[in-house]
Amino acid sequence: MYAYDEIDRTFLNERVSEFRDQVQRRLAGELTEDEFKSLRLMNGVYLQLHAYMFRVAIPYGTLSSRQLRRMAHVARKYDRGYGHFTTRQNIQYNWIKLAELPDAMEDLAEVGIHAIQTSGNCVRNVTTDQWAGVVPDEVEDPRVWAEVLRQYTTLHPEFSFLPRKFKIAITASDHDRAAIKVHDIGLRILRNDKGELGFEVLVGGGLGRTPFIGKIIKPFVHARDIISYVEAVLRVYNQYGRRDNIYKARIKILVHELGAEAFARDVETEWAQIRDSALLIDDAMVDDIRSRFSYPAYEKLSDTPDELKKADDPRFQAWLQNSVAPHKEPGYAIVTLSLKPVGGPPGDATAEQMDAIADLSDRYSFGELRVGHEQNLALPNVAKRDLPALWRALDKIGVATPNVNLVTDIIACPGLDYCSLANARSIPIAQELTRRFADHDLASMIGRLHVNISGCINACGHHHVGHIGILGVEKNGEEVYQITIGGRADEKAELGVLIGPAVKYAEVADVIEDIVEAYLALRARPDELFVDTVKRLGVEPFKERVYATR
């Protein structure tokens, strides 16, 4: 966990006070909605279909039990009793009343939580691997560097009004759980031949209307230079990024139009002017930030405790195989809590569930939790001996569905149920698919298969990089859905390929079943993943299966 100091706490309190004044002026009619818009967006407040939506940051996806309880309190007191975890390590409340927003912010600020830079054309919440600090193959805890960049970019006067929003993600493992290749800047922590710590820098990734996979523009930037290099990238973007067309304003368009090599040369030129300046990071500063992250006092435990050997319940064994991952410390494990129950909206948690999960994190995970971009939660430090007891407790509150990374572990945006930008529904389709594939034996036999659903071209459900991507669009007043296959968001990130004409809302679940049946018939062996089958055969066999009878 990272501990804020007095400067951080004072800053948050002043920000709440400032926003309270802005809200009062809006309610009194002294500010029009247009005048108020830029002020509320800088505080994570959107105006959606039914109400204001409040987006709260969870920096690098790390939460304390106290912070989660406060989020539950906000859901219960100011919203309708639940929150929605997003694909960028945020939580959203969809029914907040404007008059009560400052009180909600004040309650969150008391535990070091805020909504700054969760919206607007600035550097957004810097995200990382949700297993940071506990996964065995990690080079370095990426949260330390996410905090370095968070502190540097927060309210930076030069980068608070960029051409468009700007997203940074960091990973430190070979397997990319942070989806760095679909971010404006993706950073991969590594060591060079001399053993020095640094970053591989990718730029220009992103989804939305015009998706691109990020390109490597610098194979190695020494850790001491990462602030100056990121600033050089932002300066080039700020200077040349388009402000005349919102659809062409993201850095991915600039990188695409200039070419990655030309963009990299511009960055090098800019960097040469600032790299040996005050932006050079000294070890003491990093050590200070690193010292504010607290790590558990792990015990020396058996990696094969008797409690696990005696646990023979088939439901527990299914959960153990699916939802529990190796930890860097012997005797401990990482546990993913599925927020994808059969028939439930993906990523939603009730206030009661959040309170219960906070209690369980205190009992079994040193009071710490994580939030992943797949819209699930994790307990990062669970003793293996406690897994049977933890499973029973999680099962009682509905977050032990053993479907992590399976076909029902669906990523979905709020879609037309809440979002003012959406033109099609996402949640009902996700709910129907979880019912169609509710049989755990069937889902396990299918294997790893990521379904991503977006209710509009803005792609908040990351449909471009779903193994199966579903994009809702409006055509002649009717919701129709385009289907792509073969996308992925990991270290081998690729964009999915459209399989054919859009299908009607009522046909989507049938089409997905057809695609899955085709995969089961076509895969070379039981452990060939869906994306590997698509890679080997292309989309044609799937297209033929879907459209032959339609």
With a pLDDT cut of 70, the percent of the chain lying above it is: 100
**pLDDT given at position 2:** 77
Answer left, alpha or beta for residue 476, where phi above 0 means left and psi between -120 and 50 means alpha.
Answer: left
**Element containing residue 246 per DSSP (H, E):** none
Nearest Cα to 140, choosing from 185, 196, 194? 196
Structural element, H or E, at residue 82: strand 82-85
Strand (E) or helix (H) holding 33: helix 33-41
| pLDDT level of residue 155 (50, 70, 90 thresholds) | confident
Task: Answer yes or no: is pLDDT of 217 > 90.
Answer: yes
Could you give the angle at which helices 6-27 and 101-109 cross, rounded to 10 degrees?
A: 180
Q: How many residues does the chain have?
A: 550
| Amino acid 531: pLDDT | 98
| 203 in Cβ contact with 184 (< 8 Å) | yes
Cβ atoms of residues 346 and 375 within 8 Å: yes
What single-letter amino acid sits at 130?
Q
Distance in angstroms between the alpha carbons of the first and the last residue of the chain = 53
pLDDT at 400: 98
Whether the predicted pLDDT of 453 surpasses 90: yes
Question: What's the pLDDT tens digit per position in 170-201?
Answer: 999 999 999 999 999 999 999 999 999 999 99
Residue 328 carries which DSSP code?
S
Model confidence at 46, pLDDT cuts 50, 70, 90, reads very high
Instruction: Say what the pLDDT of residue 377 is.
Output: 98
Which of 430, 433, 434 lies closest to 415 in space, CA to CA?
430
Q: What is the pLDDT of residue 474?
A: 92
What is the model's pLDDT at position 6? 87
For tokens 């760095």, what's the residue?
A: 180
Choice among 121-125, 145-149, 154-158, 505-509 with the minimum mean pLDDT: 154-158
Q: Which ranges of 111-203 does DSSP label H, i.e. alpha helix?
A: 142-153
Structure tokens at 281: 């990071």
Nearest to 488 by CA among 545, 455, 529: 529
Confidence bin at 514 (pLDDT 50/70/90): very high
pLDDT for position 162: 95
Instruction: Tell me the pLDDT tens digit for each residue of 416-450.
Output: 998 989 999 999 999 999 999 999 999 999 999 99
CB 352 within 8 A of CB 358: no
With cut-offs at 50, 70 and 90, classify the pLDDT of residue 313.
Answer: very high
Residue 139 Cα to chain centre, angstroms: 21
Query: How far, in Å, CA of 89 to CA of 534, rounded?
Result: 30
What integer pLDDT is reported at residue 521 of this predicted model?
A: 97
DSSP count for the chain of H helices, then E strands: 18, 21
Condensed to tens digits (0 to 9), the pLDDT of residues 226-282 reads 999 999 999 999 999 999 999 999 999 999 999 999 999 999 999 999 999 999 999
Statement: residue 212 has pLDDT above 80: yes
And the tokens for 128? Answer: 């990382």
User: What is the predicted pLDDT for the residue at 549?
Assistant: 78
Read off the pLDDT of residues 270-303 as tens digits, 9 standing for 90 and up: 999 999 999 999 999 999 999 999 999 999 999 9
- DSSP class of residue 13? H
Residue 332 is predicted with a pLDDT of: 98
Residue 1 pLDDT > 80: no
pLDDT of amino acid 412: 96
pLDDT at residue number 443? 97
Structure tokens at 470: 């579903």
Least confident among 17-26, 117-126, 535-544: 117-126
Half-sphere exposure of 137 (CA within 13 A, CB side): 9
Task: Find the mean pLDDT for residues 69-75.
Answer: 98
| Beta strand residue intervals within 368-448, DSSP E | 368-371, 377-383, 411-412
Helices marked H in 172-324 — which ranges? 226-240, 251-258, 260-274, 283-291, 306-310, 314-323
| β-bridge pairing 62-64 and 82-85 | unpaired
The amino acid sitting at 543 is: K
Structure tokens, 153: 């970019």
**Average per-residue pLDDT in the chain?**
96
How far is the C-alpha of 309 from the C-alpha of 517, rounded, in Å? 36
- How many other CB atoms are there within 10 angstroms of residue 474's CB atom? 14
Q: What is the per-residue pLDDT for 8?
A: 87
**Among candidate residues 322, 329, 307, the one with its CA nearest the CA of residue 399:** 322
